[in-house]
Chain A
Amino acid sequence: MGLKDIMGLHHKRQVRAATLLALALWSVGLVLWTMPGLAAGSPFTMSLAVLLAETFVVGLAFSALLAAALMRVERWDARVPLLAVAALTLALALVHGWFDAIFVNQARAAMGLAGTPLWRQFVFGLMPFVLVYGLFASGLGLVFSSMVAQERERQLAAAQNAAQQAQLAALRFQLNPHFLFNTLNAISSLVITRRNDEAEGMIGKLSDFLRASLEADPQREVTLDEEFSTLQSYLDIEAVRFRDRLDTEFICPAELLDVLVPSFILQPLIENAVKYAVAPSRKAVRIIVRATADAPSVLRLCVEDDGGQAFGGGPKGGTGLGLANVRRRLEAFYGNEGGLVATARDRGFVASMTLPLRRAHRAEAAE
């Protein structure tokens, strides 16, 4: 259901509530007006019927006006719109009271009864109108505000659901099953060949990486230092698997280590480099992760490799998923200020992202 549909539905429900309340209030009002006279034995005359019809029609019209005003109120906890609604309610009650005084005098004249001065008739008959409009405005306000509260709750639930979905998707992405099974296979190999210390070391590295993956919140930012250490534990494992075919280097000025980046933002790029450059290559491949400040407020992160073009052994295509994931997250975090460009070079591949340069302590001070 689109936002437009939801708004349309919301509007329909408001109109229905207002119509029902107006019909109910004015019907009850009319009954209360006529009952005492009929009980006292006065006849139900044509003039009285016209008078009641006039009251009913004007009442419904004014109620519609009031309901339209109430529908425009967006915040039920603010003072100004409530005062405005109260003033409008009173004004409508007064105007309707004045009309009614005129109608009553016309009816009396038609029945040949003595006229009362208009202002006296107005003051005498005013009270019921103030009551009916007051009831209508407060009742409808109550209904509308509870509708808004319900709607807000529903939106909140939807937003939480979306956040959870994103987290699950990120988790699935981080925990690449092939990486996991190949690593378990390598550990098993170390155990079977009785290289216990190496096996223990590998289990430790895998634990570090899994813990970082499982605890990572895709909605949060981490310092570049933390991001690099997670990458390092991943690359340490891959280094055991690929031995001397994998060579990595991190290049980062010390003053950029406390810069904030979305957690695991570099992981898909590193995994791509391992998958498409290292795995299909018979020769050693170097992966360089580079952080630079393009401008005082722009951070650039690059992942580059010098792998050749895969010629058969590797999976073809498919880098799109990892890159699209990174792009989506950059956009979610920074809007137009974040971006990712990926280019193939003569030898290898470069993925380069830019994002706003913000430091950890400054962000905390702002919170």
Chain B
Amino acid sequence: MRVLLVDDEPLALDRLKAGFERLTDVVVAGTACDGIEAAEQIRTLEPDLVVLDIQMPGRSGMDIARALRPGENRPEIIFVTAFDRFATDAFDVEAADYLLKPVAFDRLKLGVERARRRRALRDMEARTTPPATTPAPVESPHDQGIWVPGRQGAVLVPVSTIDWIEAARDYVLLNTPLKSHILRARMNDIEKRLDPGVMLRVHRSHIVRIGAVVGVERPGKGALRVVLSDGAVLQVGPNYQDAVEAALKL
């Protein structure tokens, strides 16, 4: 995957480069240090992924992402910024991820993996039109999907596609393999709406889909972590440990 890195601070750019050197199957195709240069580079280099700062001289990262035409050549976007108030805007412009500085490298890796999956799925969709699938209505007191506000109206995110749910201040992020959906909600309210046999609270700020758990880690001292299919590794909160062990039949 060819990547363009954009940040107006030289040190921030150095840090991103160092982060990408640790990833496999990724090539840094170029860098840009302001919004105007970034837009040019996107046009000439046609990268698969753009890692974008938001506040920059010339044009803001959000501006650049908004101006990208949908289509086969549209690069995936990962925002990297020190501001947490643009998260809703970021997912509105179909960003693959929204990361806060300083970004931990394993978190960066998750974002890149997600961008790669989105890219692969788009390539597939371009060749074959997937059959329209309507999930069979199930009689259940729990929600089978969660409505999320989007750019044009709202979309229903089926619970079966959510790998894990993450709390972010007043918002929650629904992480699917291809996209994070953001909505204004409280963790406890979301948890109540979900089938506890399907979605499991593992931490004050994390709910995971039991089907997405591919492993557990015990780093010692009684700590427990769950490993998810998208590569995320989440700490299990001490208060949730018994419930998690019971649900996963550990």
Which residue numbers of A lie inside 8 Å of B, CB to CB? 177-178, 181-182, 184-186, 188-190, 192-193, 240-243, 279-282, 311-315
Q: Is the CB of B102 within 8 A of A188?
A: yes
Q: Is the CB of A312 within 8 A of B11?
A: no
Q: Is the CB of A282 within 8 A of B12?
A: no
Q: Is the CB of B14 within 8 A of A189?
A: yes
Q: Report the tally of A-B residue pairs with Cβ distances under 8 A.
A: 77
Give every chain A residue within 8 A of B83 (Cβ-Cβ).
178
| B10, B11, B12, most chain A CB atoms within 10 A | B11
B19's closest neighbor in chain A, by CB? A192
Q: Is the CB of A242 within 8 A of B9?
A: yes
Query: How many Å from the CB of B176 to the closest CB on chain A?
Result: 27
Q: Is the CB of A190 within 8 A of B58?
A: no
Query: How many Å from the CB of A242 to the closest CB on chain B?
Result: 7
**Which 10 A-B pairs give the minimum distances between C-beta atoms?**
A189-B15, A181-B82, A185-B101, A185-B102, A186-B11, A189-B11, A188-B102, A192-B18, A282-B57, A178-B82
Give every chain B residue within 8 A of A280 (Cβ-Cβ).
55-58
Bound Cα distance from A240 to B11, whole angstroms: 8
10 contacts between A and B (CB under 8 A): A182-B12, A185-B15, A185-B82, A193-B18, A280-B55, A280-B58, A281-B57, A282-B34, A313-B56, A315-B55
Digitize B1-27: 1 where CB-to-A-CB distance is under 8 Å, 0 elsewhere.
000000011111011001100000000
Q: Is B59 engaged at the interface, CB distance under 8 Å to the other chain?
A: yes
Bound Cα distance from A166 to B224, whole angstroms: 44
B9's closest neighbor in chain A, by CB? A241
Query: How many Å from the CB of B164 to the closest CB on chain A?
Result: 24
Bound Cα distance from A315 to B86, whole angstroms: 12
Q: Is the CB of A312 within 8 A of B35?
A: yes
A280's closest neighbor in chain B, by CB? B57
Q: Is the CB of A186 within 8 A of B82?
A: no
Digitize B87-116: 1 where CB-to-A-CB distance is under 8 Å, 0 elsewhere.
000000000000011100000000000000
Bound Cα distance from A242 to B55, whole angstroms: 13
B23-58 contacts to A, CB under 8 A, are 34-36, 55-58
A279's closest neighbor in chain B, by CB? B55
B55-78 contacts to A, CB under 8 A, are 55-60, 63
Bound Cα distance from A89 to B14, whole angstroms: 87
Bound Cα distance from A189 to B57, whole angstroms: 21
Query: How many Å from the CB of B89 to the closest CB on chain A?
Result: 13
Bound Cα distance from A189 to B5, whole angstroms: 14
Give every chain A residue within 8 A of B35 (Cβ-Cβ).
312-313
Give every chain A residue within 8 A of B56 (Cβ-Cβ).
280, 313
Residue tally, chain B, CB below 8 Å to A: 24
Give every chain B residue within 8 A of A281 (Cβ-Cβ).
57
Bound Cα distance from A279 to B19, whole angstroms: 24
Give every chain A residue within 8 A of B102 (Cβ-Cβ).
181, 184-185, 188-189
Query: How many Å from the CB of A214 to the closest CB on chain B?
Result: 21
Q: Is the CB of B9 within 8 A of A312?
A: no
**Main secondary structure on A side of the interface with B:** helix
Query: How many Å from the CB of A234 to the closest CB on chain B?
Result: 16
Bound Cα distance from A282 to B63, whole angstroms: 17
Query: How many Å from the CB of A236 to the closest CB on chain B?
Result: 14
Q: Which of B12, B58, B59 contacts A185 (CB 8 A)?
A: B12
Bound Cα distance from A56 to B236, whole angstroms: 80
Query: How many Å from the CB of A187 to the closest CB on chain B?
Result: 8
Give every chain A residue within 8 A of B36 (Cβ-Cβ).
282
Q: Is the CB of B34 within 8 A of A181?
A: no
Q: Is the CB of A192 within 8 A of B12?
A: no
Bound Cα distance from A193 to B13, whole angstroms: 11
Bound Cα distance from A223 to B96, whole angstroms: 51
Q: Is the CB of A193 within 8 A of B55?
A: no
In the complex, besides A243-B10, A279-B57, A312-B60, 8 extra interface pairs with C-beta distance below 8 angstroms are A184-B101, A184-B102, A241-B12, A311-B58, A313-B35, A313-B59, A313-B63, A314-B60
A186's closest neighbor in chain B, by CB? B11
| B36, B63, B102, most chain A CB atoms within 10 A | B102
Q: Contacts A185-B15, A185-B101, A313-B34 hold; do A279 and B8 have CB atoms under 8 A apart? A: yes
Q: Is the CB of A313 within 8 A of B82?
A: no
Give every chain A residue within 8 A of B55 (Cβ-Cβ).
279-280, 313-315
Bound Cα distance from A325 to B60, whole angstroms: 28
Q: Which of A184, A192, A312 contacts B59 (CB 8 A)?
A: A312
Query: How many Å from the CB of B173 to the closest CB on chain A?
Result: 19
Q: Which of A240, A243, A282, A313 contacts B60 (CB 8 A)?
A: A313
Give every chain A residue within 8 A of B11 (Cβ-Cβ).
185-186, 189-190, 240-241
Bound Cα distance from A56 to B213, whole angstroms: 89
Give every chain A residue within 8 A of B8 (Cβ-Cβ).
279
B60's closest neighbor in chain A, by CB? A313
Give every chain B residue within 8 A of A242 (Cβ-Cβ).
9
Bound Cα distance from A314 to B83, whole angstroms: 13
Give every chain A residue within 8 A of B100 (Cβ-Cβ).
181
B104's closest neighbor in chain A, by CB? A188
Q: Is the CB of B15 within 8 A of A188?
A: yes
| B12, B19, B101, most chain A CB atoms within 10 A | B101
